[in-house]
Amino acid sequence: KVRCERDEIAAVAAETEELADAALALITVEYEDLPLLLDVAAAREAEAPLIHDDKPGNIALQFDYEHGDVVKGEAESDVVIEDRFGLHYVTHACMGVSGVIADFDDLTGNLTLYSNTQVPFLHKREFAEVLELDPNRIRIIQPTIGGGFGSKLDIYPFEPICVYLARAAGRPVKLVFSRAEEFLASPTRQPARVLLRSGCRDDGRLTFRKVDMLLDNGGYTSWGATTPMVMMQTFSSLYRVPHCLYHSTAAYTNNPYAGSFRGYGNLQATFAVEAHMDKLADAIGMDPLEFRLLNAQEAGEVSGQGMHFRSCGFKDCLRTAADRSDYRARRQQNIEQRNTGPVQRGVGMASMLHVGGGAKIYPSDGCGTILKLDDFGHVTILTGASEIGQGSETVLSQLVCEELGLPLTSVTVVNNDTDITPWDVGVHASRTTFIAGNAAVGAARLAKEKILKAAAAATGQPMQELDLRSGGIVQRQDGSTLMTLDKLLRSMHFQDKADLVITNYYYEPPSVHQDDQHKGDVSAAYAWACQVVEVEVDSDTGVVRLLKCTAAHDVGRVINRLGIEGQIEGGIVMGQGYALAEDLMIRAGHCLNPGFRDYKLITAPEVPELDLSFIETMDGEGPRGAKGVGEAPAICVAAAVANAIENATGVRIYQLPFTPENVYRALHAAAHDPPV
């Protein structure tokens, strides 16, 4: 049964692409037409045909969460507003397409996979189950990966197909997507229909929030079906909300299936929440910044969902972004200058909360590190953490070098082979710097302890008076060098009781699984941010230009400034694309723009001026105080742009993307309302 356009029907392996194409042309498939389910609301109707016969009502997953009493909260409200929001399809658009090489050895029964997965150790376990192989017979090697953004968290059908072909052919088989196939067969960011009802008192205190979401799951279930686990955190915990009720349904359709994508549902939730923060503030005559500050979470608080905010720079983010952008003055000035010409300026603010220390999804959310020093003071870090372009190799090297007093040139990172490296759960949930960083620091501290103990014996100095700096053993008090590290390591190696400095450390964060009511401290740390954007809106054409983004992010501590600037800048541009340009056009179940010519990405000329500030809250659990920030910068851009368009024009647009056509329709009272 074919359920969506990306379904695999037949597979051919050949020595050349031309031979494979010729063989595919010989295959004839006969289809019987089935009724199409393209609208997610229609898929939930009683008479709707089933996409999967064993899934009544076409329900993939449902989530329900509650704290407090929303009926009581609404009764206590002086202002109540309700709106519908519509969020659309976008794709990851990684520069590197999906692919795999399968090498099955019939003699040994060993399978080697060269895969650009983000979760090699989970891949190993899942392939063992799918292929009914001993996990010890499976080796996953990661080549250089051209981006992931969540697109490579699952086993996708092309991978076991490649293994079966390799087994049948008795030779290695390579399967690499074309760009069009990448568009057709990769998961998407999940489209969402949001009904949000919110209230507050005249003094500005939030009273309640009630949410009903309908999510298009597509033809199959991937990670997109579980994005409500993150969405509900924003609705319940970004601000202090005493009463919250959340319901979501992910339903099957014949559309592309939804997967994990940077931000993991948070962009959709934040878009709705931050629109209501502005609308509620306006309704009671309060400045939107003051309204947010009044309801903002602070360090030491525990949200209704059980999230512990041990470190929290939220208010500092709000004040910093507002001050650096001159938000208050610009907002008022824009309101006064409305309708003075076709081109209007607007400023908008939005905030976000996201996990900053991983997320407890699997039995273990940890990472292992093996550290070894050779006779010449060179360090090899064997880490389970994968490098997919986010800069983890540099950060881990820096953390280890800070502990051992070595230059970065003294470090080699090995991280791409399940036969060599220790276990790690994978690259997702903004976890690598935090989780793998703690593992690397732990291993480095064990190595340092061993080295200083040997140095104390060699120099006759008390261990507590020694330190490692600039490649040597030094007096902690005055920094004078007693001996070089490489000399000490050689003496340890070649003495009568030969010894090597090899340590290992496994870090498991103190986060917990959410209970059956979706409550619990799911992350070891939480990232916060506020972004203020300035836009220019042309009412004659509907064109919206993003001129500037002023961003303030609580990052715990900056480890690598160049790297974190790159993360924030790239995330903002990804959020800009979600807001203004990108639209995976699905019509009648088909993708109409499967390529970079017609799928509109943000390019260099459209990138706005960026003003970045880092709020260092020195998280007590993070490595050297750091938090994860990989997903955070993309989350609130679209919400801020929506608020800026309203500030410029007085028109609130509830549906993404803000393409010229959609904006023009909205400004001229011809917009389509978000679907029910």
Per-residue pLDDT of 307-317, as tens digits, reads 999 999 999 99
- Please, which residues have CB within 8 angstroms of residue 496's CB and are 6 or more apart in sequence? none
* Model pLDDT for residues 345-377, shown as the tens digit of each residue: 999 999 999 999 999 998 999 999 999 999 999
- Please, which residues have CB within 8 angstroms of residue 24's CB and are 6 or more apart in sequence? 10, 12
Which pTM value belongs to this model?
0.96
Task: Tell me the domain boundaries of the chain.
Answer: 93-185, 192-359+514-667, 367-507
What are the DSSP calls for 6-66, one per residue? T--------SSHHHHHHHHHT-------------HHHHTSTTPPPSSTTSGGGEEEEEEEE
Q: How many CA atoms lie within 13 A of 666 on its CB side?
A: 25
Which one, of 644, 657, 625, 661, lies nearest residue 311 by Cα?
625
Tell me the residue type at 48. A
Rounded CA gap, 30 and 245, in Å?
48
The answer on pLDDT for 447 being more than 70 is yes
Read off the tokens for 152. 């490579």
What are the DSSP calls for 79-104, one per residue? EEEEEEEEE--B----SSPPEEEEEE
pLDDT, residue 673, reads 76
Instruction: Dump strand ranges (E) for 399-543.
Output: 411-414, 466-469, 472-475, 481-484, 501-507, 526-538
pLDDT, residue 68, reads 98
User: Which residue bears the tokens 């934040």?
Assistant: 270
Q: What percent of the chain has pLDDT over 70?
A: 99
* Model pLDDT for residues 131-180, shown as the tens digit of each residue: 999 999 999 999 988 899 999 999 999 999 999 999 999 999 999 999 99
CATH number of 367-507: 3.30.365.10
Collapsed DSSP state (helix, strand, coil) of residue 245? strand
Q: Respond yes or no: is residue 336 known to be catalytic.
A: no
Rounded CA gap, 138 and 103, in Å?
10
For residue 608, the 8-state DSSP code is: P
pLDDT, residue 671, reads 64
Rounded CA gap, 23 and 361, in Å?
43
The active-site residue out of 74, 631, 646, 661 is 631
pLDDT, residue 144, reads 87
CATH 3.30.365.10 corresponds to the domain 192-359+514-667: yes
Give the CATH fold of the 93-185 domain. Answer: Aldehyde Oxidoreductase; domain 4 (3.30.365)
For residue 76, the Cα-to-chain-centroid distance in whole angstroms is 36
Collapsed DSSP state (helix, strand, coil) of residue 661? helix
When pLDDT is averaged across residues 531-540 and rounded to a whole number, the result is 98
* Model pLDDT for residues 499-514, shown as the tens digit of each residue: 999 999 999 999 999 9
Q: Residue 532 in contact with residue 349, Cβ under 8 Å?
A: yes
Collapsed DSSP state (helix, strand, coil) of residue 649? helix
pLDDT band at 340 (very low <50, low <70, confident <90, very high): confident
* Model pLDDT for residues 385-440, shown as the tens digit of each residue: 999 999 999 999 999 999 999 999 999 999 999 999 999 999 999 999 999 999 99
The answer on pLDDT for 670 being more than 90 is no
| 623 cis-preceded (ω within 30 degrees of 0) | no
Q: In what order do the strands lie in the sheet with 206-218?
A: 59-67, 244-252, 206-218, 192-200, 79-87
* Model pLDDT for residues 61-99, shown as the tens digit of each residue: 999 999 999 999 999 999 999 999 999 999 999 999 999
Asked if the domains at 93-185 and 367-507 fall in one CATH topology, the answer is yes
pLDDT, residue 339, reads 85
pLDDT band at 674 (very low <50, low <70, confident <90, very high): confident
The answer on pLDDT for 128 being more than 80 is yes
Mean pLDDT of the chain: 97
The answer on pLDDT for 676 being more than 70 is no
HEC assignment per residue over 374-390: CCCCCEEEEECCCCCCC
